[in-house]
Amino acid sequence: MTTREQNDFLTQTGPGTPMGNLFRLYWIPAMTSEEVPEPDCPPVRIKLLSERLLAFRDTQGKVGVIDEFCAHRGISLWFGRNEDNGLRCPYHGWKYDVTGQCVDVPSEPEASGFCKKIKLKSYPSVELGGVIWVYMGPPELKPPLPAFEWCTVPAAHRFSTKRTQECNYLQAIEGGIDSSHVSFLHRHELRHDPLHTGRGAELTAGTEVRFEVVETEGGMIIGVRRPAEPGHLYWRITQWVVPFHTMIPPYGNNALNGHAWVPIDDENCYTWCFTHHPTRALTDHELEVMRNGGGIHVKLIPGSFRPVVNMDNDYMIDRVAQKHHKSYSGVKGIAMQDAAIQESMGPIQDRSKENLVSTDNAIIMARHRLRKLAVAAQQGKVPDGIDPATHRVRSASLVLPESASFYEGAKDALHAKDGVAHTSI
């Protein structure tokens, strides 16, 4: 059982908290490049790890991620004018560059050097895979750039989206590494979603599941087995890369999918959804399905990152479909089925009331691993998952003889190889 104290430790990620300090040691996917699409475009507000920040792209195309508020009188720089390589506060004209350095205070003589003394908090950023990543930790501990496969394939091979989720990041991650719920929650959706078809989708309907978990340098490999043909087992293998990336086992010839669950604050998170294929461009059909909310993606309220289906409309639950075995939950779409269940636990789940079973071993181990990582970071140790080599992994699905070790049998399939397709049935 997780105590209330342990739960607080794991779920609080604001400045100065152990988990917040840990998360700040990694590159964090923060925004899509499309949110700041061109030089001198309007700035964008963003909240990460309970910090209110502002992003803008300057005249040279560089992206800055800085404190939202002007150092003069605390005005939100979201109202600022993005001009001539800097963001100018509309209240009194103080201007800042992408590093947060004040470069002009019109009311003060340039000779005074006053503006050189003013610098807003800023964080390094980098664009990879159509995503703007931010590093929020100590400069001397800045890690190498991320190397996830979806970042490195050609743009035509990938599709990514971001949505907000109204719950703490941890219950979202725990949903991502819990493969046993697929047999129930997504049972009917797997028969109809065109991005989740294949023989594996049929075998996933089986509810006789067993879990095996292997810890790795970068996180965990979670193997879930179900009966297949006589003498064989169907294995679905999920990757968790610390602290917040998960990779979903594939179906048939479909592309690979994964998530990143990034805290906005203690009660909300961004759910990043990544789809990519290692060896081919995504088809027009696949892109159309995803843009219309299929697969692990959702439709958003225009001008926001909030799903059209949300808690305010009770997730548009269809009780008739649920009753007549057309939808196990009554909620449409794999992604929103997950979100509805995770948000239903409340903003922060009270884990002291749980009754866990053997299929929850991956969740238990993930909590333990996160606590260990946070404590190690407090002691000045470099945490796991920093090395880009630990990002070059894949999920997989395959059938193995009953006597075979899933980890040994799938070993080659669990590493990303350029130009080599993933393993799936």
pLDDT of residue 315: 97
* Measured distance CA(213)–CA(406) in Å, rounded: 10
Residue with tokens 């997950």: 338
pLDDT of residue 422: 97
Q: Judge whether 201 and 187 are in contact, CB under 8 Å.
A: no
Extended beta strands in 124-242, E state? 125-128, 131-135, 158-165, 210-215, 219-227, 232-241
Q: Record the tokens describing residue 129, joined without a space.
A: 């895979």
pLDDT of residue 146: 97
* Measured distance CA(285)–CA(197) in Å, rounded: 14
396 CB-near residues (< 8 Å, 6+ apart): 235, 237, 249, 250, 410, 413, 414, 422, 423, 424
Domain boundaries, the chain: 27-141, 149-414
pLDDT of residue 182: 83
* Per-residue pLDDT reduced to its tens digit, 288-302: 999 999 999 999 999
The per-residue pLDDT string of the chain (425 residues; one tens digit each, 9 = 90 and over) reads 799 999 999 999 999 999 999 999 999 999 999 999 999 999 999 999 999 999 999 999 999 999 999 999 999 999 999 999 999 999 999 999 999 999 999 999 989 999 999 999 999 999 999 999 999 999 999 999 999 999 999 999 999 999 999 999 999 999 999 877 887 888 777 777 788 777 776 777 777 788 899 999 999 999 999 999 999 999 999 999 999 999 999 998 899 999 999 999 999 999 999 999 999 999 999 999 999 999 999 999 999 999 999 999 999 999 999 998 888 899 999 999 999 999 999 999 999 999 999 889 999 999 999 999 999 999 999 999 999 999 999 999 999 999 999 999 999 999 999 999 999 99
245 to each of 23, 220, 257, 267, 424, how far by Cα in Å?
Answer: 12, 11, 11, 19, 20
pLDDT of residue 150: 97
pLDDT of residue 408: 94
* Measured distance CA(217)–CA(199) in Å, rounded: 32
Q: Judge whether 39 and 63 are in contact, CB under 8 Å.
A: no
Q: Output the CATH code of domain 27-141.
A: 2.102.10.10
pLDDT of residue 419: 93
pLDDT of residue 94: 98
Among 251, 119, 239, 225, which residue's Cα sits nearest to residue 176?
239
353 to each of 2, 3, 173, 254, how far by Cα in Å?
Answer: 8, 9, 19, 39
Q: Output the CATH code of domain 149-414.
A: 3.90.380.10
Q: Judge whether 23 and 13 are in contact, CB under 8 Å.
A: yes
| Pairing of β 210-215 and β 122-123 | unpaired
What Rg, from alpha-carbon coordinates, does the chain have?
23
